[in-house]
Amino acid sequence: MVKGQRRKASYKALVERLKLQLAADNDLGMNRHLSHITEEDLSTGSTPADNLSPMVPAVNQLHEALSAEELSSELVVELTGLAERAVSGESILDLTAEVVLRALNIPPARVRSGNRSRGAPRNARQKKQERFRQLKKLYNSNRQRLAEVLFDGAASSDHAIPLAECFQYFKSIFGRKSLPDTERFVMKASGPQFDLSAPISLQEIEIALKKMPKRSSPGPDRATVAMLSGLPRCALYILFNIWLYYKDVPKTFKLCRTVLIPKKQPPQSPKDFRPITIASVFYRLFTKIISVRLASCVQLNPRQKAFMPGVNGCGENAFLLHTALIHSRRQGKELSLATLDVAKAFDSVSHSSIQRALRRHGAHENSIVLVSNLLADSFTRIEHTEGKSDLIPMTCGVKQGDPLSPLLFSLVMDELLDQLNDLDGGFHFTDEHQLNCLAFADDILLMSSSKAGLQSLLLHSYRFFKLRHLRLNVDKCFTLRLYRIPKARSVCVDVLSEFYLDPVEPTTVLPRFTPSDYLSYLGVDFNPYGKRCKILERVESMLQCVARAELKPQQKIQMIRAHLIPRLLYSFCNGNPTAGTAASADRLIRQKIKALLHLPQSTMSDHYFYLPMKEGGLGLLSLSESVDFSMLTLYRKLAASRDPVVRAATGLWFNVYRCSRLARRHNLEDISERSILQAKTAALERHRTKFAATYQGSGHREFVEACSNLWIEGERMTGRSFIASIKARTSLVPTRLQTLRGRAEPGDQRVLCRRCGHISGSPESLAHISQNCTFTHGLIVRRHDVIVKKLASLAEASGFTVTVEPTLRHEDQAFKPDLIAVKGDKAWALDVAIPFETTDALARRHVEKCRKYACLGGPVLKLTGAKVYKTGSIVIGARGAWCSKNNGTLNDMDWALPEKIKALLCTMTLERTNQLISWFMRTTPNLAFHTTFRTRGLEGHESVRPTNFGSNAHHTAE
């Protein structure tokens, strides 16, 4: 029925009308075709000029879309009808939102039932339980927020400021009138005007969808990225081109929600929050496409480093500031700095200023109307722990959270950067290269080689912000002047000079830095004399906060691994730490993790911490290595930067010396990407080799399969079990052989097993307890049987007919394989083995098991009625290692066992081993000998009496 739509006269008339309308729109100024953008161009955010082809007639794209197989979708048919009505002159823009949201069939919002009221904690135990509940909730839902709670002292609750107060404050910010900006400007673009309203192509939609984060937060309509991706691409094509026809989006998609993110801890007022405004995913996908188009048509000043594709903006700006301070001190050059803080910059920029900036860059009037309509008629609600606020009109500023907002704000600021570049008086790195400002979005830092030069830059900047109706927060602006000491090649901090924004307003005098202060720029602390802040004290403080948190040990380690170490890495790479600071931080982190896991501080191998999690290590970054490699990578990128000032600063002798010193430390001939990657690989291999050479790394090569190590994430383990598993993996269970290592002489009876050593003469090692000890034999058998039972149930669920432990005879010998699995005309004899991991122990046991039952072909075929007989084995190490030969057995059986099931089997085996060891230790009344001489009898050792070995008491415990 639907396929016949294309044969109808009404459908053909629709195509003809759309053809005429789109052709008419093309004649109005669509002189650039932006739809043929490759995925590489979208990832870089810019489209080369030679990728811009003449615009293909829009009707061809429409015909292609409407002729696609996706026309069978009811949504496409409905949107096609709306397009017909739009061409006929009806206003159907808002109807498009109703149609697509109805097609998604979004379930109604879940109404949470009232939780059982919890009274205020009355004692220390209840307070600890309440704290654990709050932190657990944050760990499962928002770990970034949890990191702020642990490291920055933030409150675990989302908001400490009442909703009414937040509503009134942000209503005064968002709802203020956009004042007109009519100052004349000089055109920056010299070519033809660009038009953003050209038809959107299917390719643009597909590429933009791939770039959208899958877990991006939904808007007020609760539509998710997954729902959006499930819609036919043809439907999105028609929808977005209808919006372009109107140069607007439906009002439904202009309704947003705003969440408040604290900028400092703890927030004291609403102004201490950063409002993140989240619109519908339909709106964000549309503006993402428009943003990519706009980025390909404008050329921003190279001083702007924020949101620039392929540019490490924070790294470049921090490097330039650090280089300027060093150059001033070593060459005795005067240096004057000023940081400018724009109050609520994104939320206060006038829409008129944005329109003016677009015209300055050569935007066609269609583009200006499109962007203006996207910004107009928007509303938001503040989401607060107390509930949701009333609607707030957004008549000023841009939405923080909208893909288009950063670029629009950068266009406004671009005029200031261009004007500052035209002024003399910047700080000279060389005779040809000077720098007078650094910009990262609204973070502006002015720089000059003279006091008068900085004052001129300040006056010019203040005038610009005043004309744009933006306000500078004087209390958060700072100045610093390093003046040259006469007859000395050094500088000193000027504590007397004052800088101002307006000579007639005394309230615009800017605060000054003192020699002991630190200039915080982009999260990095700089000192005028290169003095380093006490970063190790900060590291120790953050580690203490993690250790005291009411979290499981594995959760604490995850917070250190995923949040604390990346913070330190950023500070070390962009700051000015000493050579040994990173190594000292590594030592502090290792010590804290050893304490959390109850591991020995002195005898534990440090290399285990830096092995990848998929190889059984803890997966930590070595700061002493990562900082060096990150710095070398940064130097390589800076030397190849498109910014000539950055290249000139990189070529200064002290930066070249530092780079060469880092390269020599790792024996690098150059700092190419390949050489750095080889050095990283060599460092990781060094950790593997050194750990494998220790007794703690014995058998570690067996843990190469990723499924053997998924438990290290610790998501489904108790803290006690996780600690026991780490000890078992590293052979640090406190057995007698372990505790007396290095102190016991050959033949020393103190290392004999406390249960059976006087009979078996076996030393008390981890391998002995988990494999051979008479006392734990019952639990060893039970561990094996649990795995056999689990495999049998999995095989039956996969369509096999399974017989468990049948007794088969061959040449007067009885055999008892664990499983006989039959599928079709094939039968397999499977045996399960759980050996202790040593060199090649798993592969050797797998071969032995397969060879052992190779002779049972006749009995098995007779028992099962199958025609083909094969043998196999499932070998899992006692410490949870998955034998790689198991995969061959499963492939031969055509048994697709998921990786998660393999990981489950490994975890079950490891936890059973932990229970076995715990039972051995817990039920031993005498943990050490009471006499001091070495030759001892059995007096006083009730735990190892021979009469105890006939009892089943030690076989019945779980």
pLDDT value, residue 796: 95
Residue 927 has pLDDT above 70, yes or no: no
- Per-residue pLDDT band for 116 (boundaries 50, 70, 90) equals low
Return d(Cα 451, Cα 443) in angstroms, integer.
Answer: 21
Residue 310 lies in a domain: no
Residue 59 lies in a domain: yes
pLDDT tens-digit profile of 180-207? 998 999 898 777 889 998 999 999 999 9
Q: What is the mean pLDDT of residues 879-883?
A: 95
Q: Which helix (H) or strand (E) holds 554?
A: helix 553-559
Do 480 and 417 sit in the same domain of this protein? yes
923 close to 916: Cβ distance less than 8 angstroms: no
pLDDT tens-digit profile of 460-510? 999 999 999 999 999 999 999 999 988 777 889 998 888 999 988 888 999
Residue 418 has pLDDT above 60, yes or no: yes
pLDDT value, residue 937: 39
Do 513 and 577 sit in the same domain of this protein? no
Among 169, 404, 413, 180, which Cα is nearest to 285's?
Answer: 404
State the DSSP string of 351-412: HHHHHHHHHHTTB-HHHHHHHHHHHTTEEEEEEETTEE---EEE-SS--TT-TTHHHHHHHH
Residue 618 lies in a domain: yes
pLDDT value, residue 74: 85
Q: Which helix (H) or strand (E) holds 801?
A: strand 801-804
Residue 953 has pLDDT above 70, yes or no: no
Q: What is the DSSP letter of 713?
A: G
Residue 938 has pLDDT above 80, yes or no: no
Q: Which helix (H) or strand (E) holds 821?
A: strand 819-823
Do 752 and 777 sit in the same domain of this protein? yes
Residue 85 has pLDDT above 70, yes or no: yes
- Per-residue pLDDT band for 53 (boundaries 50, 70, 90) equals very low
Do 92 and 237 sit in the same domain of this protein? yes
Residue 952 has pLDDT above 90, yes or no: no
Tokens of 608: 């285990």
Residue 166 lies in a domain: no
Q: What is the mean pLDDT of residues 610-637?
A: 94
Give the three-class secondary structure for 344.
coil
Do 955 and 918 sit in the same domain of this protein? yes
Residue 771 has pLDDT above 80, yes or no: yes
Residue 533 has pLDDT above 80, yes or no: no
| Look-up of token digits 């609204």 | 442
Higher-confidence residue: 828 or 52? 828
CA angle 948, 953, 954 (to 5 degrees): 80
Residues with Cβ < 8 Å from 37, sequence gap 6 or more?
47, 51, 203, 204, 207, 292, 293, 296
pLDDT value, residue 145: 85
Last residue of a domain, one of 473, 498, 526: 526
Do 688 and 778 sit in the same domain of this protein? no
Return d(Cα 514, Cα 519) in angstroms, integer.
Answer: 10
Residue 70 has pLDDT above 50, yes or no: no
Residues with Cβ < 8 Å from 628, sequence gap 6 or more?
662, 665, 666
pLDDT value, residue 215: 83
pLDDT value, residue 643: 92
Residue 707 lies in a domain: no
**Of the listed ranges 158-162, 196-200, 244-248, 286-290, the one predicted with least confidence:** 158-162
Give the three-class secondary structure for 267.
coil
Higher-confidence residue: 872 or 115? 872
445, β-bridge pairs: 339, 438
Share of the chain above pLDDT 90, in %: 62
pLDDT tens-digit profile of 559-618? 999 999 999 999 888 887 776 889 999 999 999 999 999 999 888 999 999 999 999 999
Residue 407 has pLDDT above 90, yes or no: yes
Higher-confidence residue: 325 or 17? 325
pLDDT tens-digit profile of 823-859? 999 999 999 999 999 988 899 999 999 999 999 999 9
Residues with Cβ < 8 Å from 350, sequence gap 6 or more?
178, 179, 180, 181, 396, 468, 469
Residues with Cβ < 8 Å from 648, sequence gap 6 or more?
429, 430, 432, 433
Higher-confidence residue: 256 or 518? 256
pLDDT value, residue 786: 96
Return d(Cα 241, Cα 221) in angstroms, integer.
Answer: 21
Do 657 and 784 sit in the same domain of this protein? no
Return d(Cα 890, Cα 896) in angstroms, integer.
Answer: 7
Q: Which helix (H) or strand (E) holds 915?
A: helix 899-922
Q: 620, exposed or middle or buried, with CB in 10 Å at 0-12, 13-18, 19+?
A: buried
Share of the chain above pLDDT 70, in %: 87
pLDDT value, residue 900: 94
Do 420 and 514 sit in the same domain of this protein? yes
- Per-residue pLDDT band for 57 (boundaries 50, 70, 90) equals very low
pLDDT tens-digit profile of 601-613? 888 999 999 999 9
pLDDT tens-digit profile of 251-273? 999 999 999 988 877 788 898 88
Which domain, by its residues, includes 812? 727-929+937-958
Q: What is the mean pLDDT of residues 170-176?
A: 92
* CATH at residue 423: 3.30.70
pLDDT value, residue 958: 30
Residue 135 lies in a domain: no
pLDDT value, residue 947: 37
Q: What is the mean pLDDT of residues 908-924?
A: 89
Do 370 and 408 sit in the same domain of this protein? no
Q: 606, exposed or middle or buried, with CB in 10 Å at 0-12, 13-18, 19+?
A: middle
CA atoms within 13 A on the CB side of 498: 10
**Considering the chain, what is the average pLDDT of its residues?**
85
State the DSSP string of 656-688: HHHHHHHHHHTT-S---HHHHHHHHHHHHHHHH
Last residue of a domain, one of 475, 506, 526: 526
pLDDT value, residue 934: 37
Residue 632 lies in a domain: yes
Do 235 and 380 sit in the same domain of this protein? yes
pLDDT value, residue 923: 61
pLDDT value, residue 610: 96
Tokens of 328: 């001033």
Residues with Cβ < 8 Å from 473, sequence gap 6 or more?
341, 342, 343
pLDDT value, residue 930: 37
State how many domains the chain has.
4
Do 646 and 514 sit in the same domain of this protein? no
Do 431 and 504 sit in the same domain of this protein? yes
632 close to 680: Cβ distance less than 8 angstroms: no
- Per-residue pLDDT band for 7 (boundaries 50, 70, 90) equals low
**Of the listed ranges 4-13, 433-442, 472-481, 723-732, the one predicted with least confidence:** 4-13
pLDDT value, residue 119: 63
Return d(Cα 670, Cα 305) in angstroms, integer.
Answer: 27
Higher-confidence residue: 498 or 52? 498
Residue 673 lies in a domain: yes
Residue 874: what residue type?
A: I
829, β-bridge pairs: 820, 871
pLDDT tens-digit profile of 213-260? 888 889 999 999 999 999 999 999 999 999 999 999 999 999 999 999
